[in-house]
A and B are shown apart, each in its own frame.
Chain A
Amino acid sequence: MLMMEAAASRLERDHVHNVYDKIAPYFNDSRYKAWPKVRQFLLDLPAGSVVADVGCGNGKYLSINKEAFMLGCDVCRPLVVSARIQGHEVQICDGLHLPYRDGCFDAVLSIAVIHHLSTKERRIRAIKEMARTLRVGGRIMIYVWAMEQTRRKFEKQDIFVPWNPNPHSANRDRPRRRGTTQSVSEAMDDADKQRKVRSTSSMLDEEDVSCSTQQRTHRLWFFSRSLDSVFDFGSLAISRSLSRDFSTLSSPAGENEGTKGGQHGAGQGLIKQVSSFFSPSSMISSEEDVFDSVTDLHRGRKDAGGDAAADSTAKQSVSVSLAQECSSLALPDLIHHQKEHLIQARDEDDGGPQGKEPPQQESTRSPEAGTEGSCLRYYHVFREGELAELIEKHVDELHVKHAYFDHANWCVVAEKIQVWKI
């Protein structure tokens, strides 16, 4: 459906591409370390493998296996330039239209990419495109954000996630907040070089955790309707107001102008309407790195036993503080509570969640965030089994070999197989 395609494209432009263009300068190696299992997948490839990293970002996976020939591509120009400066072979392109000939890759990576595509159909197309460029017998590794996190679950699958620039870039006297991963890793490294950074996702800055609630930043999730559901005309999920808008938009233009022009006009209006439905319908606290830190919490507990006593104690106290922090944040399903909180936050009144001190409003005040909508990244988070099912049902040329959960992601490794069509 053409309108859906245009709406999807626009949503992704506004809430994926434009955001990454803006935040690209904040990316650097210490913020985004390679996931260990992805690293291992790359290192296990035979020497002389030709590998594509589709959605390579700043190229962190491109340097891992020096015996492989790595090609990276991304739609975000500043990130591609960043990877280029590291000396990598990279291109600017779009995951739905890859500029590579059929079957030229021995392996393909798609790490935290396709969850930015806003319809199921586009996600399937992206997987099929990558499969096309894989040779028979070649393997693809796909990572996507999971709906089910270790301690909690996203309430819905289609969400907007705000971006907060690195708070630690400013002076140290400023109240700390749960850091973006860059500063956090740095702080951890500085604090104790002996301590291994076990997680490759974000970890909490110790100082952050122990600081008062007053200094915590309020972070929000925004839930949205899935584009797929909005365009499902047969579905009862469409609100009355939405169907009203559909009819007012489609009929006048269609009748008066007819042909392509009229349809185009109606389409444009509809797209605007649809876009407005993607404004936040509910606000939830906690940002992506809180989810990462929640999974770290578990690892911290598990790993603590194996360390030297001092380390172990330190880690445990971090873990305990984390637990306290996380449990004090409102759960995603407390929508009405969050809405109140949102109103409070916007009015900058006293009293954050559960009567605590007002949180820092840095996320909404920072120039980079601009208006609340401008640095929101769209994600479709995946349910357990959804990714594997997508491949099994819709991508005949790929055979799922492994499916697992890794640090808040659902992951699949699949092999390209020969498909015989009669």
Chain B
Amino acid sequence: MKLLTHNMLTSHVKGVTKGYPLLIKATEVKVNEVEFNPQFVNRMIPKLEWSALVQAADGLGQRQDLPSELIPDYEKNEEFLKKVHRVLLEVEVIEGSLQCPESGREFPISRGIPNMLLSEDEV
């Protein structure tokens, strides 16, 4: 699970109103090399919940010096875009779980695949 994916995921346990963002509890993390595409990163940034991204990266010890707020005029700032690229696409959670911030319910991640299936009493 990449952090770009994590940015879209939310807890959907019945009754939960603040299920986003999910807390990452990782037991295995990989950092891969992924081809840098500045236009792609630029297009992703407006679609992100920025603070959730920073919080997630931080929790994995992968934040480095990512700012807590989006810097102005980031579009042409290649250094900044490379940092974003790294946390969005290169950091991967292989094993662990995603925890609902409100209910505490954990969704397992196995082989990089989050299992978001709810049981009958959670829907």
**B5 within 8 Å of A by Cβ?**
yes
Q: Are A91 and B113 in contact (CB under 8 A)?
A: yes
Q: Are A99 and B42 in contact (CB under 8 A)?
A: no
B56: min CB distance to chain A, Å: 14
Whole-angstrom CA separation of A83 from B1 in the bound complex: 13
**A100 within 8 Å of B by Cβ?**
yes
Interface size class of A (residues with CB under 8 A): 20 to 34
- Residues from chain A with a CB closer than 8 A to the CB of B120 are 9
Whole-angstrom CA separation of A180 from B117 in the bound complex: 31
Binds A, one of B8-16, B23-31, B59-67, B75-83: B8-16
**B101 within 8 Å of A by Cβ?**
no
Q: Give how many A-B residue pairs fall within 8 Å (CB-CB).
A: 73
A89: min CB distance to chain B, Å: 5
Q: Please encode chain B, from 84 to 123, with 1 for each CB lying within 8 Å of some chain A CB and 0 for all others.
A: 0000000000000000000000010001111111101001
Known pairs A84-B112, A91-B116, A92-B116; A99 contacts B43 (CB<8 A): no
Whole-angstrom CA separation of A48 from B116 in the bound complex: 25
Q: Are B43 and A100 in contact (CB under 8 A)?
A: no
**A203 within 8 Å of B by Cβ?**
no
Nearest residue, chain A, Cβ from B113: A84
Q: Are A94 and B113 in contact (CB under 8 A)?
A: no
Nearest residue, chain B, Cβ from A75: B117
Nearest residue, chain A, Cβ from B42: A48
**B50 within 8 Å of A by Cβ?**
no
Q: Are A71 and B8 in contact (CB under 8 A)?
A: yes
Whole-angstrom CA separation of A152 from B122 in the bound complex: 43
Q: Are A101 and B8 in contact (CB under 8 A)?
A: yes
Q: Are B113 and A92 in contact (CB under 8 A)?
A: yes
Nearest residue, chain A, Cβ from B47: A50
Known pairs A89-B2, A94-B118, A101-B20; A50 contacts B8 (CB<8 A): yes
Instruction: Enumerate chain A interface residues (CB-CB to B < 8 A).
Output: 9, 47-48, 50, 67, 69, 71, 73, 75, 77, 80-81, 84, 89-94, 96-101, 104-106
A-B contact list, 13 entries, CB within 8 Å = A47-B40, A80-B113, A84-B111, A84-B113, A91-B9, A91-B116, A92-B113, A92-B115, A94-B118, A99-B12, A99-B116, A100-B8, A100-B10
Extra pairs beyond A81-B111, A99-B116 (5, CB < 8 Å): A48-B40, A89-B1, A89-B5, A92-B115, A99-B9
